[in-house]
Structure 1
Amino acid sequence: MSNKTKRILIVEDEEAIAEGLRFNMDAEGYETVVLGDGPSTLSYFEENSHDVDLIILDLMLPGMSGYEICRAIRERDQNIPIIVLSARTLSEDKSHAFDCGTDQYIAKPFNLPELLSRVRNLLKRPRIDPPPKHATEIEEFQIGNIQINFKTFEVIKDGEKHQLTTMEMQLLRYFIENEGDVLSRTKILKDVWEQGAEVTSRTIDNFVLRLRKYIEDDQSNPHHLLSVRGTGYRFIANPIK
């Protein structure tokens, strides 16, 4: 394991919050870089992506929203941990942030020990996510005319290529590796999401809806990713017709 000091990129335009985050991250032994707008953040990340280990990202920034920044970063790097730290507390704000590729969402005002705990947990995660302990890593998988590449985070359906986020791919791989099993929402939360992640059963439902867009011919009548009423979901690669 590398002993290199972990570098955290803090994207926050409110100076008091930014400096408070810097002080506390430095106190934990991390190296920090603070930026306050989208263009400088993307420029810095473009040049230093391999040296950044985690990003703490505000949503309300001058000139460019945190959503746009998150989406742009995900186009380059599907694995770097991103924590959104925002005063926006509506469920649609959180859903949009997850759609853009954030790993976790923390509302302001925030609890510092909780934030530090989440940072520590996410930094333990390898940049290339390992397979579940109970299974051999799957690199590729085919469902009918749909090709799934777990190394490139791509799903190709009818010749059209879709780029998935880290969490979308982790959840899809989880369903495939547990094919045929009825998986409760509680079990999915426990097995797929990081401990302490601010997600609910509704978050899982939203992710499943997105996965169905990639792997189902008719999202309203799914044949692979099935709902189990009152429990959760069940994945079937080759349903009996």
Structure 2
Amino acid sequence: MKILVVEDEASIAKGLRINFEMEGYEVELAEDGHKALELHSSASPAFDLIVLDLMLPEMSGYETCRKLRLVDKEVPVLALTARTLAEDKTQAFDCGVDQYITKPFALPELLSRVRVLLERRRRTLDQGMAVRVVEDKERFGQVTVDFGRFEVTNNGEVHSLTTREIELLRYFLQHDDVVLSRGRLQTDVWRDSAELTSRSIDNFVMRLRKMIEADPANPRHLISIRGTGYRFIREPE
């Protein structure tokens, strides 16, 4: 498996490279966001994981991740950063980060999370090869969800989703008319992201509403359950 480490501190970058290579991974380094995007666009084979510092020169890690998600919604991104505030984590998840680890970090925890993300990536690639010719779509109301393309079409308007957004929407569809607590969503959808906050989940839901609801301020499909979480209704009365 192939990892891109985006880190401007040379000592940290080299240390990560050594430890990842000892685990048997192929590793490339980028010292800033521009270089990271350049390497990503030209990589063959593609990277299976990106380890991304958020405090980068010229282009922040947040902006780097936003630009990355415009062209690649599937590659896992692990934020490795000294930023510890809740709003930093929320912003990172909003940009499309899958995992969040703060510096200083425990190497065994980092390697464990890397293994989880790479195993998920491997399963996704294997499933994609197995079902490539099978249509993977869901329809409800005026909405069509294309899981293969990471797209939602609502009344003719097409929206692109991130990996986590598509996973969350699939989970709601699989649990139609079931009250889902934020804790359950964190466990089942963000099963490997201990840093997630309730506010982050709410932000993801608000973005989904903008894509699937005719009137996001008065949702009919994705309903809030006060003090608990959410209930998805495929075909409301």
Q: TM-score, normalised by structure 1?
A: 0.88
Deviating 4+ runs (over 6 angstroms): none
Deviation at 1:160, TM superposition (A): 2.1
Matches within 5 A, 1:149-168: 149-168=146-165
- Rounded Cα–Cα distance in structure 1 between residues aligned with 2:175 and 2:83: 35
2:221 pairs with 1:224: yes
Partner of 1:141: 138
- 8 Å CA contact 2:5–2:28 kept in 1: the answer is yes
2:192 pairs with 1:195: yes
2:80 pairs with 1:68: no
- Rounded Cα–Cα distance in structure 1 between residues aligned with 2:47 and 2:148: 21
- Rounded Cα–Cα distance in structure 2 between residues aligned with 1:124 and 1:117: 11
- 8 Å CA contact 2:90–2:199 kept in 1: the answer is no
Partner of 1:78: 73
2:169 pairs with 1:209: no
> Which stretches in structure 2 are left out of the alignment for 5+ residues?
129-133
User: Is 64-73 or 175-184 further displaced after alignment?
Assistant: 64-73
Deviation at 1:38, TM superposition (A): 1.7
- The secondary structure found in structure 2 opposite 1:23 is helix
2:110 pairs with 1:115: yes
Partner of 1:3: none
Partner of 2:8: 13
- 8 Å CA contact 1:122–1:194 kept in 2: the answer is no
Give per-residue Cα distances to partners, 1:132-156, cap 9 Å, x unaligned. Answer: xxxxx98212232222111101112
Partner of 2:131: none
- Rounded Cα–Cα distance in structure 1 between residues aligned with 2:184 and 2:135: 21
> Which stretches in structure 1 are left out of the alignment for 5+ residues?
1-5, 132-136
| Equivalent residue letter for 2:62 | Y
Q: Per the alignment, do residues 128 and 183 of structure 1 end up closer, same or farther by CA in structure 2, a change over 3 Å counting?
A: farther
2:230 pairs with 1:238: no
- The secondary structure found in structure 2 opposite 1:52 is coil
Deviation at 1:226, TM superposition (A): 0.9
- The secondary structure found in structure 2 opposite 1:34 is strand
Give per-residue Cα distances to partners, 1:64-109, cap 9 Å, x unaligned. Answer: 1112221222222221111011112222222221121110111122
- Rounded Cα–Cα distance in structure 2 between residues aligned with 1:130 and 1:231: 33
- 8 Å CA contact 1:121–1:194 kept in 2: the answer is no
Q: Per the alignment, do residues 89 and 202 of structure 1 end up closer, same or farther by CA in structure 2, a change over 3 Å counting?
A: same
- Rounded Cα–Cα distance in structure 1 between residues aligned with 2:232 and 2:32: 42
- The secondary structure found in structure 2 opposite 1:183 is strand
Q: TM-score, normalised by structure 2?
A: 0.90
Partner of 2:24: 29
- The secondary structure found in structure 1 opposite 2:45 is helix
- Rounded Cα–Cα distance in structure 1 between residues aligned with 2:68 and 2:163: 12
Q: What RMSD in Å do the two structures reach over aligned CA positions?
A: 2.0
Partner of 1:56: 51
Q: Per the alignment, do residues 90 and 180 of structure 1 end up closer, same or farther by CA in structure 2, a change over 3 Å counting?
A: same
